[in-house]
Structure 1
Amino acid sequence: MSISTPLTLVVNCGSSSLKFALFDPRESEALLGGLAECLDAADARIRFDADGERTVAQLNGGGHREALDALLAFLSARGLLERVAAVGHRVVHGGERFTQSVEITPEVLADIEACADLAPLHNPANLIGIRASIAALPAARQVAVFDTAFHQTMPAEAYLYALPQQYRREYGVRRYGFHGTSHRCVSQRAIERLELDPTDNALIVLHLGNGASATAIRNGRSIDTSMGLTPVEGLVMGTRCGDVDAGALLYIARRAGLDLDGVDTMINKKSGLLGLSELSNDCRTLEQAAASGHEGARTALDVFCFRIARTVGALAASLPRLDAVVFTGGIGENSANVRAKVLERLSIFGLDVDHERNDVTRGGACAVISRSRRPAAIVVPTDEEGTIARDTADIAFGQSASAAEVA
């Protein structure tokens, strides 16, 4: 391998998507990237963005494994696969063991698998990506970057459940939080964009997508978040219910004759926007349907936005003040309608949406969308892949590695 050519591949397997990007460790911008979406559905597809061109291929109902096969074939055809020296993987749940990114060993892999029950839509997908990468790139160093790690700074009053504490001691039952990689990078960018004091700031970051979460961040540290032991808790999501009375689940299980697996399927795969609308889990589809008069779609979006605003109000109690509300994620970055509905409900905090600016902010744009200065509302594109790549390069090559050292 030439000393100038080691590359870092980032693999980010979501619940129904797979994002990827290829980086030169010495450059900030990705060499290429792309997204596989609607996985395990009839319209599953993968998009490659490289050399200023976009290529889309159908996956014919395929899932994460088929998307990875297509990605590896794309890299191989361009002579890039053999140049990959490190692979960084987003891993949703790391339990209490992992407080930072780590190189993947057989022991780490076993620990990730042990957490699969806590993130049933994600950790199994993450493991597919890791194992496929190890098989295809046995010489590359593999690194896990955990969603839960950023939230390990939460105080006990924020992460403890009011349950018998023997379950915390024996089974690790506590609140962990997720989307930590996104919350970490977005909060840093918001602080810079708003010119806040890096040692004295207070933000609430809203990562809104098929999975959605909100985090109160004080001086770059997570102090409270909406998700809990698993990614089910908190906001309404694409197919996840978010907060719900546990007694309601017991009632439904008894009346409908559901076993535990049936309840698991209901709260993870049949609820959220899909369950409310009885139409789709995709916000874009629901916005179009609501505009055409579909009552279920309108109701789903109203509940979604109400719950976001209510959660912001609750998280504000964890902060000494509120400097900004930050929108990110696929919905947060692109849905002016959702942002406006949320901010209108947050007028009690002095937030005043700038509708003209809000309406044109989408597609990766970073912009303040409020007339109010404190607190401000801002859209900041997430860069989970870039953050994962930096963590991976630090571990695989050393933070200040030269080209010769990373060859």
Structure 2
Amino acid sequence: MIILFLNCGSSSVRYSVYDWARKESLAAGLVERVTMPGTAITHERPGKDKVSFEKECKDHTEAVKLVVDTLINKEYGVINDVKLISAVGHRIVHGGKFAKSVLVDDAVMKELKEISDLAPLHNPAHIMGIEAAQKIIPGVKNICIMDTAFHQTMPDHVFMYALPYEWYTDLKVRRYGFHGSSVLYCAKRAAVLLGKKSNEVNVIVCHIGNGASITAVKEGKCFDTSMGLTPLEGLVMGTRSGDIDPAIPFYVMSKTGVSPDDMYNTLNKGSGVLAVSGKSADRRDVELAAEAGDQRCQLAVDMESYRIKKYIGAYAAALGRVDAVVWTAGVGERGPVIREKALRDLEYMGLEYDHDKNFSALTKNAESEITAPNSKVKSFVIPTDEEIVGVEDIVAILENRYDVHTKYTYIFEDKNYRNKLRDELFAKEIAKKPFLLKAAVNVPENIKNLVK
């Protein structure tokens, strides 16, 4: 069973192809500058050279066609016939009321269009992607993987805002949360590493990338999360402001004449680490500049890590008991500086941070523990795998055995689950950097033997 997975942005189409029978990724890539001059595709396959070339795509239909044509290309494709694709999955940033992945039909499309205003930067592009797939691969089943679905277990006193109640009933204003597939994967993998069932653990999952969120997972279910109606609320992010006094935009607009649209754009694309540092949203660049003495970059690092620490403390109080703090996504997986500053001095809650382990966890290909052996609360670095969550949801829907995650067991909840490609890449890494094994956990013996 071959699954094509699409993540459509306003001017881009990310894709991946997964072979369920072999349990491995066949290819992944990105079409950039869709609707603009200079459209280009980058196509990657495990163990083979990257393929890149330009081809104009005036809309998402042409972009999806480019993806399909690339996948069946005789020279660098990975399948022989488009008919081998069993289903097309679509990552939907804002899934509104949907509590699980769903097969696309007229009712689903109607609902997605009705909630487009809740995610104007994302959902319209997702809808175009679905319509493009329906046109380019007629008859294939399309399935939506909702980024908000995991968070639908939040109680009302957590997801509600202290605003006029009619805004909730009439306008659907409430906290929805995002990064749901990533949090689901990491929470369930943390349970495996703890030797427990997912409904037995309380974990705090820090998904720290350009977009960043923290989620409090209680007994395997979302209890609270930092992002809200939109992905703007919560942490200091790459270009998003996160939590601010809501009066600030009104004050600045009254003083400067900035329009509401420009203010919205500034809060989403011109704030966060980029604005504070004055240099970049890339934490690697900012940390290097801070180390060299740039005070604004140091301020950006301090602000981001402090906001994370504050949320960890708040969610520890909300959960009552914490079994683990999990780090994932680009910065979470490969940002030891941010992790260290956020985890220091948490001994009061039973978490004893280990500096050497933290700075040994410099890989995106291995699960690692970065706390001391006697730490009552563990901290893990877990490379996220949103693809396997989406693919398994799709396969289960096609086979009529799917249900909400609280009633469904994923293949990666098995303690013996392995990611073949990730193991191969990690083996190559430790052959050159044996120190990576210091923090890594759940490593096969054949990989450990590489350093002996």
TM-score tier after normalising by the smaller chain length: 0.7 to 0.9
Which SS does the other structure have where 1:235 is aligned? coil
Query: Aligned partners of 1:310 and 1:357: how far apart in 2?
Result: 23
TM-superposed CA distance for 1:222, in Å, is 0.3
Query: For residue 363 of structure 1, what is the aligned residue in structure 2?
Result: 364
| Displacement of 1:267 | 1.1
One-letter amino acid matched to 2:366: A
Structure 1 position 52 matched with structure 2 position 47? yes
CA contact (8 A) 2:65 2:136 kept: no
Using the TM superposition, name which of 352-361 and 172-181 deviates more. Answer: 352-361
For the Cα contact (< 8 Å) 1:322–1:374, is it kept in 2?
no
User: Aligned with 1:213: secondary structure?
Assistant: strand
Partner of 1:395: 397
- Residue 272 of structure 1: CA displacement? 1.3
1:87-98 map, 5 Å: 87-96=88-97, 98=98
Report what 1:74 is aligned to: 70
Q: Aligned with 1:126: secondary structure?
A: helix
More displaced, 148-157 or 45-54? 45-54
Instruction: Report which of the two structures shows the higher radius of gyration computed on alpha carbons.
Output: 2
Task: Report the more deviating stretch, 291-300 or 30-39.
Answer: 30-39
Q: Which amino acid in structure 2 is aligned with residue 249 of structure 1?
A: P
Equivalent residues in 2 for 1:2-81, closer than 5 Å: 6-13=1-8, 19-34=14-29, 47-57=42-52, 65=60, 68=64, 70-77=66-73, 78=77, 79-81=80-82
Counterpart of 1:404? none
Distance 1:171 1:48 in 2: 41
Q: Distance in 2 between matches of 1:289 and 1:39?
A: 34
Moved more, 359-368 or 180-189: 359-368
Distance 1:287 1:26, change over 3 A: same
**Residues 357 and 42 from structure 1, CA distance in 2 versus in 1: closer, same or farther, beyond 3 angstroms?**
farther
SS at match of 1:30: strand
The Cα shift of 1:352 comes to: 2.5
Q: Give the aligned CA root-mean-square deviation in angstroms.
A: 2.8
Q: Tell me which moved more, 242-251 or 123-132.
A: 123-132
What are the residue-to-residue correspondences of 1:110-129 with 2, within 5 Å? 110-129=110-129
Q: How does 1:181-330 map to 2 (within 5 A)?
A: 181-330=181-330
Letter in 2 for 1:143: I
Q: Provide the secondary structure at the position in 2 that maps to 1:110.
A: helix
Q: Is the 8 A contact 2:90 2:142 kept in 1?
A: yes
**Unaligned stretches of 5+ residues in structure 1:** 1-5, 401-407
Contact 2:88 2:142 in 1 (8 A): yes
The alignment partner of 2:200 has SS state of: coil
Local SS of the residue matching 2:68: helix
Worse-matched range after superposition: 280-289 or 139-148? 280-289
Aligned length: 394
**Equivalent-residue separation in structure 2 for 1:33 and 1:90 (angstroms):** 14
Distance 1:271 1:307, change over 3 A: same
Instruction: Give the distance between the partners of 1:364 and 1:246, measured in 2 at CA.
Output: 40
Corresponding position of 1:83: 84
**1:92 and 1:147 in contact (8 A); partners too:** yes
Q: Which amino acid aligns with 2:68?
A: L
- Further displaced range: 210-219 or 192-201: 192-201
SS in structure 1 at match of 2:344: helix
Alignment of 1:124-203 (within 5 A): 124-203=124-203
Greater alpha carbon shift after TM alignment, 285-294 vs 253-262: 285-294
CA shift in 2, pair 1:256/1:331, >3 Å: same
The worse-fitting range, judged by mean Cα deviation, of 65-74 and 184-193 is: 65-74
Moved more, 102-111 or 122-131: 122-131
Distance in 1, matches of 2:312 and 2:59, equals 33
CA distance in 1, matches of 2:281, 2:393: 32
* Cα offset, 1:329, TM superposition: 0.8
Question: Could you tell me which residue of structure 1 aligns to residue 375 of structure 2?
Answer: 373
Amino acid at match of 1:22: V
SS in 1 for 2:380: strand
Superposed CA offset, 1:197-221 (max 9, x none)? 4442110001111111111101210
Residue 386 (structure 1) aligns with:
388
Quick one: distance in 2 between partners of 1:33 and 1:47? 8
Which deviates the most, 258-267 or 35-44? 35-44
Question: Do the aligned partners of residues 298 and 128 (structure 1) sit closer, same or farther apart at CA in structure 2, a change above 3 Å counting?
Answer: farther
Q: Is the 8 A contact 2:350 2:375 kept in 1?
A: no
Q: Is the 8 A contact 1:85 1:139 kept in 2?
A: no
Query: 1:358, CA displacement in angstroms?
Result: 1.7
- After TM superposition, the structure 1 stretch with the greater mean CA deviation from structure 2, 98-107 or 41-50, is 41-50
User: Could you tell me which amino acid in structure 2 is paired with residue 336 of structure 1?
Assistant: P
Q: Which residue of the partner structure matches residue 414 of structure 2?
A: none
Bigger shift: residues 170-179 or 276-285: 276-285
- Cα pair distance change 1:67/1:296, threshold 3 Å: farther
Whole-Å separation in 1 of the counterparts to 2:198 and 2:134: 39
User: Partners in 1 of 2:332 and 2:314 — Cα distance?
Assistant: 19
Residue equivalent to 2:443: none
Q: TM-score, normalised by structure 2?
A: 0.80
Report percent identity of matched pairs.
39
Shift in Å, 1:61: 11
Residue 449 of structure 2 is matched in structure 1 by none
Deviations 1:275-325 (A, max 9, x none): 212222222332233333333322222211111111111112221211100
* Cα drift, residue 131 of structure 1: 2.7
Is the alpha carbon distance of 1:19 and 1:348 closer, same or farther for their aligned partners in structure 2, counting shifts above 3 Å? farther
Deviation at 1:373, TM superposition (A): 3.1
Deviation at 1:261, TM superposition (A): 1.2
TM value normalised by structure 1: 0.88
Contact 1:47 / 1:54 at 8 angstroms: preserved in 2? no
1:34-86 CA distances to partner (integer Å, 9 max, x unpaired)? 45689999999754332411405266999994865553332031235332120
Compare 157-166 and 37-46 and name the one that shifted more: 37-46
Inter-partner Cα distance in structure 1 for 2:227 and 2:134: 30
Higher alpha-carbon deviation: 20-29 or 208-217: 20-29
- Contact in 2 for aligned 1:19/1:35 (Cα 8 Å): yes
Q: CA deviation at 1:386?
A: 0.8
Alpha carbons of structure 1 residues 305 and 22: separation in structure 2 relative to 1, 3 Å: same
The answer to whether the 8 Å contact 1:104/1:143 transfers is yes
Task: Give me the whole-angstrom Cα distance separating, in 2, the residues matched to 1:12 and 1:373.
Answer: 39
